[in-house]
Amino acid sequence: MSSAAEQEAVPEAEREDRAEGAARSVHPAAVLNGRRRPVPPVPVWPGAPTPLGARFRAGPDGAAGTNFALWAGGAEAVELCLFDGQGAGSRETRIPLTELTHEIWHGFVPGVLPGQRYGYRVHGRWDPWTGARWNPAKLLLDPYARAVDGDFGLPAEVYGHVRDWPQQHVADTVRDERDSAPYVPKGVVVHDDDDWADDHRPKTPWADSVIYEVHVRGFTKLHPDIPERLRGTYAGLAHPAAVEHLVRLGVTAVELLPVHQFAHEDHLLERGLRNYWGYNSIGYFAPHAAYASSGTAGQQVGEFKRMVRALHAAGIEVILDVVYNHTAEAGELGPTLSLKGIDNRGFYRLQPDARRYADYTGCGNTLHVVQPQVLRLITDSLRYWVTEMGVDGFRFDLAAALARSMHDVDMLSPFLAVIAQDPVLRRVKLIAEPWDVGAGGYQVGAFPPLWAEWNDRYRNAVRDFWHHALPDVREMGYRLSGSSDLYSWGGRRPYASVNYVTAHDGFTLRDLVSYDRKHNEANGEGNRDGTDDNRSWNCGAEGDSGDERIRALRRRQQRNLLTTLLLSTGVPMLVAGDEMGRTQRGNNNAYCQDNETSWLDWSLLREPGWRVLSDLTSRLIALRHRHPVLRRRAFFSGRSHSADGLRDLAWFTPRGAEMTEADWYAPAATLGMYLSGRDIPGRDGRGAPVLDDSFLIVLHAGERPVEFVLPGPPWAEHYEVLVDTSREEQAQAPGVTHRADGPITVPERSVLLLKVTG
């Protein structure tokens, strides 16, 4: 129980709750296996407090074994639990770890080899009113486990408190004494002997990157050319058929939705659903076991590494979407799986009453990143995935939550400071989702140099322009040219902006032009989940339509959105399947749809209407790769650097005149953007100036054609049309040339890309 001083500080109503919970601290049906099992005579040597986790190695006399080390601040005792066999027949051997160094419990156990399944039981006080939630009846996953065997089913036994206690307002204070070991996965000892000497990281410069957001399972689950036993796995993504599609598109990096070991929420399991996206992490070092084809007794580690090698060999980087802001243990009414039972107060942000959790994530808890042990956990995990698993960067889910100091978001926070000086992490790609759900959590444009950011202002502006919903074109001008208003400070570059029109969270590209509202009924939440701010347009009918005019308009709008994205300055991010017309049938929050709703339908590529969309995507990415003016490493100046007055960037109205201040503030459906290839900052690898072609991009969102006067000298003498999104066939350039100073007809709702030819 807590001290007298702590009791005095608790409000009377909560003291009554505490008394009620303490009086009923054992579930009526709960007994811890009748009695404590005797400790078998297993030898355990002192071992070492570092590195944390389970590391197979040779002991002091050369004997093979495993060193176990667990940080458990405030704990009174720690038992290492080894398991032989699986399921109900598994035999548990408990070994007390008696060595304690700087709050790290450790020991070396000779004879423990790779493949051994294990967990921990941590002893300490049960006093939820002060944040203490130790419960040795609960088997805990090692936070540093390199592999995890088994799945989280979340029955009542895995909760540290009595989940079904009649008085729910005090349920989290009543300790559950039932053993959770039969119901939870175990960590697996892994042999780290992999040699990366034959791996060659692509090291694609930021400005040259094209990111492809992909789900390991969903990308390959229905692929007809991948063997069935490999579909939905790391090996499936490494298969030549999967890699060939990525290479044909021309993307330079895959951004994998979470592959850290994660758990399914109990409310989903009750409805017969599962967490598909994976934003519910519980093991920050372990590849999610369900994505392995080769086994889950450590084989998933090698399979993941082979996938990375295969992608690297094709010139494709691997970026992980990581969730360090919260864990699958949720709030005070959530399960006890790992950190909550190791040191609840040391790992999680708690509210002033200490019983409940500070929740800046909307998921029940928030990791307390200010604490040294939490910083160590996160940075050790990140370094592990770079140095031992071969990945090339990370996208941080709800990164603003990681940047909070005690309460507010702080760009000088310990987390950002540690990353900035780390010799391994500061060299990889770092992408922030620059917001969380707490007060002051929206931080787009605020992250420091080294970081790129998901730019939702780009997404909103482009969607609104093509829906013809912008009051003027100022916002669109900034977003097309690299968002200098957000990122031109502190040495940041245009590639700090990760531009996207769609992401996993929201409508697919096809659904964006097919639905005015979300249709999430299949999620079982009464269509209340998912955003209502979709900025979408169904083109005249909700959902599938047999009207060919509507279908053609939708295909054109998708071409417009993709073309805008891939011609914009910044780093484009595509979502897997958008290039082939994937649909979720209006579900804009398919996080729990592990089925055909979310999986890629590869048969779409056999349909001419969608194949040409894929061809256009490939053509546009190839254009980016060929032309440095489309992937600039510095912001435009808008100033003339030559006697003829030609500037690196200029904007034009349909009259062929440069835009004035008044034009920027006026409603407009048409925008001309001139990019000069003569004035690109920087030099190539040999010190020579970077020169390129010049281009005129005309975006027209109006519902009727418009006459556009092509700018004459010094801008150009002639223009050649390279892309015209009004055309269905996009396998090659139209090849039409126009004289400058004359009008051309820009079809309704279309983009023209014109190259200056003289």
Residues 162-187 pLDDT 10s: 999 999 999 999 999 999 999 999 99
Q: Which two tokens stand for residue 39?
A: 């400790």
From CA 352, how far away is CA 197, in angstroms rounded?
51
pLDDT at 44 over 70: yes
HSE-CB of 187 using CA atoms within 13 angstroms: 31
Torsion of Cα atoms, 103 then 108 then 113 then 118, to 10°: -40
* Amino acid identity at 592: C
Q: Which two tokens stand for residue 146?
A: 């390199």
Q: Which residue has the higher pLDDT, 468 or 356?
A: 356
**Pairing state of beta strands 117-123 and 186-188?**
antiparallel
The residue among 596, 591, 598 whose CA lies nearest residue 275 is: 591
Burial level of 208, CB count in 10 A (0-12/13-18/19+)?
middle
Give residue 5's pLDDT: 38
Residue 32: is its pLDDT beyond 50?
no
Percent of the chain with pLDDT over 90: 85
Topology match between the domains 53-189 and 638-757: yes
Task: Give the mean pLDDT of 68-95.
Answer: 91
SS3 105: strand
What is the DSSP code (8-state) at residue 404?
Answer: B
Contacts of 643 (CB under 8 A, 6+ apart): none
Residues 76, 94: Cα–Cα separation, whole Å: 16
Structure tokens at 260: 């850290």
How far apart, in whole angstroms, are the C-alpha atoms of residue 668 and residue 653?
A: 9
Using 50, 70 and 90 to split pLDDT, how confident is the model at 104? very high
- Is there a catalytic annotation at residue 408? no
Q: What is the largest CA-CA distance in the chain?
A: 92
pLDDT given for residue 90 in this prediction: 82
User: What ranges do the domains of the chain cover?
Assistant: 53-189, 638-757
Reported as half-sphere exposure (CB side, CA atoms, 13 A), residue 119 has a value of 30
In whole angstroms, how large is the CA radius of gyration of the chain? 28
pLDDT beyond 70 at 542: yes
Query: What is the Cα–Cα distance from 76 to 98, expressed in whole angstroms?
Result: 10
CATH label, 638-757, candidates 2.60.40.10, 1.10.760.10, 3.20.20.370, 2.60.40.1180? 2.60.40.1180
pLDDT confidence tier of residue 710, bands split at 50, 70 and 90: very high
Residues 591-615 pLDDT 10s: 999 999 999 999 999 999 999 999 9
Closest CA to 175 of 18, 352, 16: 18
pLDDT at 645: 75
Q: Would you say the C-alpha torsion 415, 420, 424, 425 has a positive or negative sign?
A: positive
Assess whether pLDDT exceeds 90 at residue 321: yes
In a 13 Å sphere around the CA of 8, the CA atoms on its Cβ side amount to 3
> From the candidates 397, 594, 693, 724, which is the catalytic residue?
397
User: Tens digit of pLDDT for each residue in 530-540?
Assistant: 999 999 999 99
The percent of residues in the chain predicted with pLDDT above 70, rounded, is 93
Residues 291 and 261: their CA atoms lie apart, in Å, by 10
What per-residue confidence (pLDDT) applies to 39?
Answer: 46
pLDDT, residue 730, reads 72
For CA atoms 319, 321, 326, 330, the dihedral sign is negative
pLDDT for 279-293, tens place per residue?
Answer: 999 999 999 999 999
The mean pLDDT value of the chain amounts to 92
pLDDT value of residue 199? 84
pLDDT at 731: 66
Fold adopted by 53-189: Immunoglobulin-like (2.60.40)
The answer to whether the peptide bond before residue 714 is cis (omega within 30 degrees of 0) is yes
Categorize the per-residue pLDDT at 9 as very low, low, confident or very high, splitting at 50, 70 and 90.
Answer: very low
Say what the pLDDT of residue 6 is.
39
218, 598 contact by CB (below 8 A):
yes
pLDDT the model gives residue 640 = 74
Angle at 141 between CA 137 and CA 145, to 5 degrees: 155
- What mean pLDDT do residues 341-363 have? 96
Say which of 433, 648, 663, 679 is annotated catalytic: 433
Task: Indicate if 433 belongs to the active site.
Answer: yes
Identify the pLDDT of residue 88: 61
As a whole number, mean pLDDT of residues 68-81 equals: 98
More confident: 460 or 192 = 460
In this prediction, residue 31 carries a pLDDT of 34
- Residue 619 — φ and ψ, nearest 5°? -60, -45
Q: CA-to-CA distance for 644 and 717, rounded, in angstroms? A: 14
For residues 219 and 291, the answer to whether their CB atoms sit within 8 Å is no
Average pLDDT in the 642-658 region?
Answer: 89
Q: Which has the closest alpha carbon to 203: 305, 303, 320, 319?
A: 319
**The dihedral sign for the CA sequence 330, 332, 334, 337:** positive
